[in-house]
């Protein structure tokens, strides 16, 4: 499975179609992994009542559980990153953190209905493979002792090819992991130097081979456009390289530059190394054209999958769900996040843990859920969340079915929002009839722009 290292011809996407629409609809719009989005969460815990958000979730007929575990340790800092992370080379730090996770899981478990089955587990970070094989096995024991896993539970792990040993892959398999998401970002050496993350192609090939040989059935690759020193041509080579690895899914995220004062150390534009907005849009169009030409389907925005991948099948059958890890296939599950910064979601709202390890530990030492902020959904929030998630996951709104589900006349109640979609119709982003609206293939990259019209909090 050697990836192609042949240089791509200089690629110049057409200025029509996707590029023109990207230019027209450029601007900051949430990715809607929640509604309301996390920047609206409140830190008034007396109003939030985090423990009752858990107990209220034990309603009869409640759906299954989707677990997320945030493993925050990294050995070095990559300059594009905005994940909650702790830089250290002391592997012993993970032992204390596993104690914390066991405490948090036990505290939460006392409030939860233990009969609910886990259909999904995502080990994320930062860097899950900061943990040694023995530490990963201990994490698996903690989780499997606390929860009842479905035989078909989808267990996924984020992988950094720079830190992956055979023993760790074996331990992940023992936990039940069969899905991996590999962070590659860009394969160009100059770009890698600029983001302080040197990861030669041979490392990526080795990681994919190790995972495939161990029985991992689905491999996702994360790319990032908008990094320093990236050009359309270098990004074309990156796409060739990763397509050579044969991933089942790809995500092509955009880097959001920040100022040095906002986030010291993160990639900023102060050295003038970042590609301009137009160049970034060309990279987006290029990625879409290359991936569609290679046989992948667009699941929405910048997520792609092979047509026979579970995500693509779920997208066709209405089984896609959206949460803080992106798109998943287990619709209807409540998300329980553990570890610093982790976000949980249930039909009544969201709760996010402390991002600082000391505040997280202090709360656990007091015997409290380590929640720092969150949101309790109002009836109106719930309705708008449903509309937004239907657009993001099913790419359509069926007015009659939604009116029955939400208990309001959708066409009348949201007439202003629906009227505002006229320009999208004119741009072939969606089709509208008396019965509903449907996003077109052209409109898939613009899902969040359409969804934003139903966001009552967006200024």
Crossing angle between the packed helical segments 201-213 and 166-175, to the nearest 10 degrees? 40
Shortest Å, Cβ 41 to ligand SF4: 22
Residue 304 pairs in a beta bridge with 250, 298
321: which residues sit within 8 A by CB, 6+ positions away? Answer: 327, 328, 329, 330, 331, 332, 333, 389, 393
Shortest Å, Cβ 98 to ligand SF4: 18
Residues 25-84 that bind ligand SF4 (CB under 6 A): 74, 77-78, 81, 83
Shortest Å, Cβ 183 to ligand SF4: 6
Q: How many residues bind ligand SF4 (CB under 6 A)?
A: 10
**What single string gives the DSSP state of each residue in 4-23?**
P-SPPPP----SSTHHHHHH
- In the bound state with ligand SF4, the residue whose beta carbon lies nearer, of 81 and 430, is 81
Report if residue 342 touches ligand SF4, rule: CB under 6 A.
no
- In the bound state with ligand SF4, the residue whose beta carbon lies nearer, of 165 and 379, is 165
- In the bound state with ligand SF4, the residue whose beta carbon lies nearer, of 100 and 160, is 160
Residue 394 CB neighbour total at 10 angstroms: 18
Largest CA distance in the chain: 61
- In the bound state with ligand SF4, the residue whose beta carbon lies nearer, of 49 and 197, is 197
Shortest Å, Cβ 78 to ligand SF4: 3
Strands 117-125 and 148-159: parallel
- In the bound state with ligand SF4, the residue whose beta carbon lies nearer, of 50 and 183, is 183
CA distances from 171 to 73, 131, 167, 316, 373 (A): 18, 10, 6, 34, 34
* Binding letters toward ligand SF4, positions 116-155, x by CB under 6 A: ---------xxx----------------------------
CB 230 within 8 A of CB 283: yes
Q: Is the peptide bond before 250 cis (omega within 30 degrees of 0)?
A: no
Shortest Å, Cβ 195 to ligand SF4: 9
- In the bound state with ligand SF4, the residue whose beta carbon lies nearer, of 85 and 237, is 85
Shortest Å, Cβ 221 to ligand SF4: 14
- In the bound state with ligand SF4, the residue whose beta carbon lies nearer, of 125 and 443, is 125
Shortest Å, Cβ 250 to ligand SF4: 17
Report if residue 85 touches ligand SF4, rule: CB under 6 A.
yes
Nearest to 154 by CA among 181, 179, 174, 183: 179
CB 377 within 8 A of CB 413: no
- Residues lying near ligand SF4 in the complex (CB under 6 A) are found at 74, 77-78, 81, 83, 85, 125-127, 160
């Amino acid at each position: 499975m050697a990836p192609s290292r042949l240089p791509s011809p200089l690629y110049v996407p057409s200025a029509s179609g996707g590029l023109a629409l990207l230019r027209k609809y450029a601007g900051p719009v949430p990715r809607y992994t929640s509604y309301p989005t996390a920047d609206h969460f409140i830190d008034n815990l007396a109003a939030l009542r985090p423990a009752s958000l858990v107990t209220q979730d034990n309603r009869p007929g409640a759906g299954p559980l989707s677990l997320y575990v945030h493993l925050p340790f990294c050995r070095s800092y990559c300059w594009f990153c905005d994940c909650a992370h702790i830089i250290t080379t002391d592997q012993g730090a993970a032992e204390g953190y596993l104690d914390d996770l066991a405490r948090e899981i036990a505290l939460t478990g006392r409030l939860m209905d233990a009969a609910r089955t886990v259909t999904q587990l995502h080990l994320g970070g930062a860097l899950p493979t900061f943990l040694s094989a023995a530490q990963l096995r201990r994490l698996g024991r903690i989780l499997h002792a606390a929860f009842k896993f479905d035989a078909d539970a989808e267990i996924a792990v984020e992988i950094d090819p720079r830190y992956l040993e055979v023993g760790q892959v074996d331990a992940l398999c023992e936990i039940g992991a069969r899905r991996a998401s590999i962070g590659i970002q860009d394969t160009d050496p100059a770009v890698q130097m600029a983001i302080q993350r040197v990861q030669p192609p041979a490392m990526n090939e080795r990681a994919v081979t190790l995972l495939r040989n161990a029985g991992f059935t689905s491999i996702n690759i994360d790319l990032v456009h908008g990094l320093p020193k990236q050009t359309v041509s270098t990004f074309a080579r990156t796409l060739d390289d990763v397509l050579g690895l044969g991933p089942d899914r790809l995500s092509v995220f955009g880097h959001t530059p920040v100022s040095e004062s906002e986030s010291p150390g993160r990639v900023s534009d102060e050295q003038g190394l970042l590609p301009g907005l137009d160049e970034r849009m060309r990279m987006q169009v290029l990625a879409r054209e290359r991936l569609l030409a290679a046989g992948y389907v667009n699941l929405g925005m910048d997520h792609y999958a092979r047509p026979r991948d579970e995500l693509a099948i779920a997208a066709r059958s209405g089984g896609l769900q959206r949460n803080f890890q992106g798109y998943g296939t287990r619709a209807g599950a409540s998300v329980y996040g553990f570890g610093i910064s982790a976000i949980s979601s249930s039909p009544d709202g969201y709760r996010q843990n402390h991002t600082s390890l000391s505040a997280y530990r202090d709360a656990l030492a007091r015997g409290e859920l380590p929640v720092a902020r969150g949101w309790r959904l109002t009836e109106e929030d719930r309705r708008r969340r449903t509309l937004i998630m239907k657009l993001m996951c099913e790419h359509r709104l069926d007015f009659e079915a939604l009116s029955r589900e939400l208990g309001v006349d959708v066409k009348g109640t949201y007439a202003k929002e629906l009227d505002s979609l006229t320009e999208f119709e004119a741009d072939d982003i969606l089709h509208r009839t008396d019965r509903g609206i449907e996003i077109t293939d052209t409109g898939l990259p613009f899902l969040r722009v359409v969804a934003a019209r139903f966001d009552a909090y967006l200024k």
